Amino acid sequence: MKITIVGTGYQGLVTGTGLAEHGHQVACVDRNVDRIAMLQEGRLPIHEPGLEELLVRNLEEERLSFTTDLEKAVADCLPVFLCVGTPANEDGSADLAEICEAVRQIAAAMTGYRIIVNKSTCPPGTAATFERILRENTEHAFDIVVNPDFLREGAAVDDFLRPDRIVVGCDEVRVREIMRELYAPFLRTGRPFLAMSPVSAEMTKYATNVMLATRISLMNQLAEICDACGADITAVREGVASDDRIGPTYLFPGIGFGGSGLPKDLRACIAFGNSFACDCDLLEAVHHVNERQIERFLARILSHYGDSLPGKRLALWGVSFKPRTDDVRGAPALRLIERLRDAGASIVVYDPVAAPKIEKRFADGVRCVRKYYEALEGAHGLIIVTEWNEFRRPDYERMAALMAEKVIFDGRNIYTPKVMREMGFKYFSVGRPAV
């Protein structure tokens, strides 16, 4: 099938390469000229494990192409996948200006019947808005499908090739069957193809993300109680996670969830509910706990130094919002760096892939290094922000020798308090007794 993808960000690239890998002829469009030039040369503008291999292979096999010419790409395909950003407005609601503009452009470029497949995360009811825009801007027939994306950055290729489920929101049985056929090779292991109304599919995406966000905030709230009563949240988590009714995922306490998905979709869902005068108090609390979590972590760091950071050098390991991605959108590290720098500390940052983004963003008081031990030289403290695997079993003796003060603030609970005590570190983690 000839397929067009509009938007070559994290979502569009994974979707485009994943579909090409299954034999489809895929044209990916972006308005960002530099990005398209890189991709045409087989170079990735983002870090996503396994994606480069798919990109290069499918470019070589000429199943995948990249262009800035939306008109040409839309002129010769059946489905057009929308993978355009839907950022947050000031009040948390979804800003649909960019995606509505993309729909307008697609409508103007249509030369016949098209299936418009929306993969971007949008508030329920957006498919109806797209329908109106299309009617106003084209005389050609079309159908709209809502096909939400449940990819996790850092594991997105695997998630796309082996999804837990495919959700397709469309009232037309014929179009549902086309989508079922398109996704059939990805569902060979018997995972479900769930057909529903467009508005239910849109709501399913919000519901999934707020559920995941709720689990994390709940664990962070329980970690706070563990801190107060001397219980260890790791043991509590294991006890809870082995209950079949609960399961182990998204139960890790830390410094709160970040990224371009959970925080944005949580706030957008609250704003959407409020627009119907629905009381979203549980979701508000999930957001509030998440905000408080990072403030508590910051307060712990500041209080250790007597609220005085001038002259202190702090090392930060990890800045991406989670491991195996270079995405720093909504990353807790950004707030930590800004606040600690403003309090007078000099910050030295190491991240295996995201450091260049930090270098671009912070000019003064923040230095990025290429090796993680280098960040520790003369440091008065180490802050673990992202749990990259390489941080999990470091050479503690080497760390101790490099640091001016043996203090670790572990925002991801990756070390064992007993080991830290034996190695002579002052060690603070989340929801576990400090040593």
Q: Which residues bind ligand NAD (CB under 6 A)?
A: 6-12, 29-32, 35, 70, 83-86, 98, 101-102, 105, 120-121, 149, 151, 153, 156, 260-261
Residue that has been written with the tokens 């090392």 in this structure: 315
Over the Cα atoms of the chain, what is R_g? 23
**Under 8 Å between Cβ of 222 and 257:** no
Residue 84 or 316: the one with the smaller Cβ distance to ligand NAD is 84
Please tell me what DSSP assigns to residue 260: S
Could you give the 3-state DSSP secondary structure of residue 319?
A: coil
Nearest to 424 by CA among 433, 234, 312, 405: 405
184: enclosing H helix or E strand? none
Residue 223 or 328: the one with the smaller Cβ distance to ligand NAD is 328
Report, in Å, the least distance between residue 433 CB and ligand NAD.
36
Residue 65 or 260: the one with the smaller Cβ distance to ligand NAD is 260
Report, in Å, the least distance between residue 38 CB and ligand NAD.
11
Q: What secondary structure does DSSP assign to 15-72, as a single string?
A: HHHHHHHTT-EEEEE-S-HHHHHHHHTT--SS--TTHHHHHHHHHHTTSEEEES-HHH
CB-closest chain residue to ligand NAD: 9
Report, in Å, the least distance between residue 44 CB and ligand NAD.
12
User: What is the CB neighbour count within 10 angstroms for residue 142?
Assistant: 19
Report, in Å, the least distance between residue 11 CB and ligand NAD.
3
13: tokens are: 């690239």
Report, in Å, the least distance between residue 259 CB and ligand NAD.
8
Residue that has been written with the tokens 């509590």 in this structure: 236
Residue 161 or 435: the one with the smaller Cβ distance to ligand NAD is 161
Report, in Å, the least distance between residue 12 CB and ligand NAD.
6
Residue 216 or 236: the one with the smaller Cβ distance to ligand NAD is 216
Report, in Å, the least distance between residue 148 CB and ligand NAD.
7
123: tokens are: 């508030």
**Under 8 Å between Cβ of 428 and 405:** no
Residue 54 or 366: the one with the smaller Cβ distance to ligand NAD is 54
Residue 6 or 133: the one with the smaller Cβ distance to ligand NAD is 6
Report, in Å, the least distance between residue 102 CB and ligand NAD.
4
Nearest-5° angle of CA 67, CA 35, CA 41?
Answer: 75
Residue 51 or 309: the one with the smaller Cβ distance to ligand NAD is 51
Report, in Å, the least distance between residue 219 CB and ligand NAD.
22
Residue 11 or 320: the one with the smaller Cβ distance to ligand NAD is 11
214: tokens are: 């709720």
User: What is the CB neighbour count within 10 angstroms for residue 95?
Assistant: 15
Report, in Å, the least distance between residue 55 CB and ligand NAD.
15
Nearest to 301 by CA among 241, 381, 233, 400: 381
Residue 30 or 227: the one with the smaller Cβ distance to ligand NAD is 30
106: tokens are: 């697609």
317: tokens are: 């390991």
106: enclosing H helix or E strand? helix 97-109
Q: Where are the alpha helices (DSSP H) in 114-197?
A: 126-137, 156-161, 173-183
Type of residue at 261? G
